C-alpha cells in the first residue's frame, strides 16, 4: 500500500516559525496519492489545499475512554479497538475500580469482549477515594497493568459519588507515593460547590485546586482531562512541559454551548464539563493545532443508554468512539494544520506516559459516510455523537454505512 504513494515529511517545514524553533514537534509523515512522479512542490501545496484526500498516520491511542461493563462494553469496545492501539480506561464503574485486584478483573472482562484477533490494549486506571492507601499505589505500579490514578471530585460527574471530598486533607500521602512511583494523576477538573456557576467550575478548580497542587507537588505528573476553557489552555501552557498535560475531546473542539440548545434541548450534546462559549472553543483549537506537545487525543467517549439520555434528568456523556477520529481530522483540516495531526493523535500521549509509540499505521480517506442513528447493545441502544449526519473522513477500517 505505502509503496504506491508519494511521501513527504511535512513536520520538517523549510521555514520554521518562531514557535516551532522553541518547541519542535515530532515530524509527521503524511502520504499522498498523487502523480506517479513525486513533485515536491505539488505535494507541499497539497498539504494546504483540498487536494489531500488520504492520510496515513501512526495508529492513534485514546487517552480517555469509558467502556462500561457487560452488554454495553461488548457493544462499544469494537468501535475503539478498530482504530486505536491503546486506551486509558476510566474507572468510574458502579461500584468504581478502586483496587488493583478489581482493575485486573475489569481488564480481563475487556479482553474477553474484544473482537477476535484484536491487538487493542486497555491501559487501566484506579479511582481515587479519600481512603486510597499509598500501599495500593505500590500494588498498582507492580501490577504492570495500571497506568494512572483518576481524581473525581465527589459529585462532579457521572459515578463520582465515591470520589475525593478533600484532596489536600485526605490524599497527600497517596499523591506523594504517586510521585515516587511516577504514576500520573488524571483529573476531572471541576469544583462541585453548587454556588459556583456550572460554566465557571473548571476555572475555579484550576485556581483553587490544580494550581496549588502543582505548587505543592511539582514532580507529580498530571493530566487535566477533557479541557473546555481558555483558562485551562493558559494554565497548561504555564506549567512545565512534560509534567502537566491535557486531553481534548472532539466535542470541545467542534461544538460550543449553542449546540445544547439548537432547535430545542439536545441531550446528546450534554457532557461534563459542559460545552462552553465560542471563544473558549477557539482557544482550544488553536492550542491543539499549533503543534504543542502538551495536548493529546482523549475522546471521553461516554456511552449511556438512549433512555438515560432522553429523559427528565439525562446523564452527562457523549458517545463519540465511532466518529472521534473523523472529527479530529476535520478539526485539523479546517485549521490548515493536518501536518500537526499525527503528533496529537499518536505521539504526544505515549511520549507523556513514557510508553512506546505505536508502530502500525492507519489510513484516513476522504470518503463521505453517514453516522448511524443508534448502535444496539444487549438491552437497548446508544446514540452516537453527530448521529445521522455525514462525515467526510473515513478511517480505512471503518465500514461505510
Ligand X SMILES: NC(=O)N[C@@H](CC(=O)O)C(=O)O
Positions touching ligand X (CB under 6 A) are 66, 92, 157-158, 188, 271-272, 300, 302, 316-317
Residue number, 125 or 158, with CB nearest to ligand X: 158
| 15 part of the active site | no
271 binds, among Zn ion, ligand X, none (CB under 5 to 8 A by kind): ligand X
150 is annotated as an active-site residue:
yes
Catalytic residue among 61, 62, 162, 300: 300
Paired sense of beta strands 295-297 and 361-370, if any:
unpaired
Three cell numbers written together for 393:
473522513
Coil, strand or helix at 207: helix
The catalytic position among 61, 79, 83, 188 is: 188
Helix axes 134-143, 172-181, angle to 10 degrees: 30
Measured CA distances, 243 to 150, 184, 199, 295, 348 (Å): 16, 9, 26, 12, 12
From the list 66, 83, 340, 377, the catalytic residue is 66
Question: With respect to ligand X, which residue has the nearer C-beta, 31 or 319?
Answer: 319
Q: What 3-state DSSP class applies to 399? A: coil
**Is 53 known to be catalytic?**
no
For residue 317, the partner it binds in ligand X, Zn ion, none, with Cβ less than 5 to 8 A by kind, is ligand X
- Binding of Zn ion by 188 (CB under 5 A): yes
Please select the residue that binds Zn ion; options are 8, 98, 157, 358, rule is CB under 5 A: 157
Number of residues that bind Zn ion (CB under 5 A): 3
Q: Whose Cβ is closer to ligand X: residue 11's or residue 267's?
A: 267
User: Which is closer to ligand X, CB of 83 or CB of 188?
Assistant: 188
Phi, psi of 382 (to 5 degrees): -125, 135
* CB closer to Zn ion, 29 vs 304: 304
Name the phi and psi angles at 161, rounded to 5. -55, -35
Q: Which of 201, 186, 271 is nearest to 232 (CA)?
A: 201
Nearer to ligand X, 58 or 158 (CB): 158
Distance CA 328, CA 253 (A): 8
Catalytic residue among 62, 64, 79, 305: 64
Note if 195 is an active site residue: no
Number of residue whose CB is nearest ligand X: 317
Residue 226 a catalytic site member: yes
* Residue 92 binding result from ligand X, Zn ion, none, given CB thresholds of 5 to 8 Å by partner type: ligand X
β-pair type (146-151, 121-127): parallel
Q: d(Cα 31, Cα 3) in Å, to the nearest integer?
A: 10
Which element (helix H / strand E) includes 144? none
Quote the radius of gyration of the chain (alpha carbons, Å).
Answer: 20
188 tagged catalytic = yes
- Residue of 177, 300, 339, 342 that binds Zn ion (CB under 5 A): 300
With vertex at residue 330, the alpha carbon angle to CA 325 and CA 331, rounded to the nearest 5 degrees, is 100
CB 149, min distance to ligand X, A = 15
The one catalytic residue in 226, 276, 340, 377 is 226
Selected range binding Zn ion among 28-36, 165-173, 180-188, 283-291, rule: CB under 5 A: 180-188
φ/ψ (deg, to 5) at 7: -125, 140
Taking the C-alpha atoms of residue 330 and residue 390, their distance in angstroms, rounded to an integer, is 12
Residues of this chain that bind Zn ion (CB under 5 A): 157, 188, 300
Residues that are catalytic: 64, 66, 150, 188, 226, 300
Amino acid at each position: 500500500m505505502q509503496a504506491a504513494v508519494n511521501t513527504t515529511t511535512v513536520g520538517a517545514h523549510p521555514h520554521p516559525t518562531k514557535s516551532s524553533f522553541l518547541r519542535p514537534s515530532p515530524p509527521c509523515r503524511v502520504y499522498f496519492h498523487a502523480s506517479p512522479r513525486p513533485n515536491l512542490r505539488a505535494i507541499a501545496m497539497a498539504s494546504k489545499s483540498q487536494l489531500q484526500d488520504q492520510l496515513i498516520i501512526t495508529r492513534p491511542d485514546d487517552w480517555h475512554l469509558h467502556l462500561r461493563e457487560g452488554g454495553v462494553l461488548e457493544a462499544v469496545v469494537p468501535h475503539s479497538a478498530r482504530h486505536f492501539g491503546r486506551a486509558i480506561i476510566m474507572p468510574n464503574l458502579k461500584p468504581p475500580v478502586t483496587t488493583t485486584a478489581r482493575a485486573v478483573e475489569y481488564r480481563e472482562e475487556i479482553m474477553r469482549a474484544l473482537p477476535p484477533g484484536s491487538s487493542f490494549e486497555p491501559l487501566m486506571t484506579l479511582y481515587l477515594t479519600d481512603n486510597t492507601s499509598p500501599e495500593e499505589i505500590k500494588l498498582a505500579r507492580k501490577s504492570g497493568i495500571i497506568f494512572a490514578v483518576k481524581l473525581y471530585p465527589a459529585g462532579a460527574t457521572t459515578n463520582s459519588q465515591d470520589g475525593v471530598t478533600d484532596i489536600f486533607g485526605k490524599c497527600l500521602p497517596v499523591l506523594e507515593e504517586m510521585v515516587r512511583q511516577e504514576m500520573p494523576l488524571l483529573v476531572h477538573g471541576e469544583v462541585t460547590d453548587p454556588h459556583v456557576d456550572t460554566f465557571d467550575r473548571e476555572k475555579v478548580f484550576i485556581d483553587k485546586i490544580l494550581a496549588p497542587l502543582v505548587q505543592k507537588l511539582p514532580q507529580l505528573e498530571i493530566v487535566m482531562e477533557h479541557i473546555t476553557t481558555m483558562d485551562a489552555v493558559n494554565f497548561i501552557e504555564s506549567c512545565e512541559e512534560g509534567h502537566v498535560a491535557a486531553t481534548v475531546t472532539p466535542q470541545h473542539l467542534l461544538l460550543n454551548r449553542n449546540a445544547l440548545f439548537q432547535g430545542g434541548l439536545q441531550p446528546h450534546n450534554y457532557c461534563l464539563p459542559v460545552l462552553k462559549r465560542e471563544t473558549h472553543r477557539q482557544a482550544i483549537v488553536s492550542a491543539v493545532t499549533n503543534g504543542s506537545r502538551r495536548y493529546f487525543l482523549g475522546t471521553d467517549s461516554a456511552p449511556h443508554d438512549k433512555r438515560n439520555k432522553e429523559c427528565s434528568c439525562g446523564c452527562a456523556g457523549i458517545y463519540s468512539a465511532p466518529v472521534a477520529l473523523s472529527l479530529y481530522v476535520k478539526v485539523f483540516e479546517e485549521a490548515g494544520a493536518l501536518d500537526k495531526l499525527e503528533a496529537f493523535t499518536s505521539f504526544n500521549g505515549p511520549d507523556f506516559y513514557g510508553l512506546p509509540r505505536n508502530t502500525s499505521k492507519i489510513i484516513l480517506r476522504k470518503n463521505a459516510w453517514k453516522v448511524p442513528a443508534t448502535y444496539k447493545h444487549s438491552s437497548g441502544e446508544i446514540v452516537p455523537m453527530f448521529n445521522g449526519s455525514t462525515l467526510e473522513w473515513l478511517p480505512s477500517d471503518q465500514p461505510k454505512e
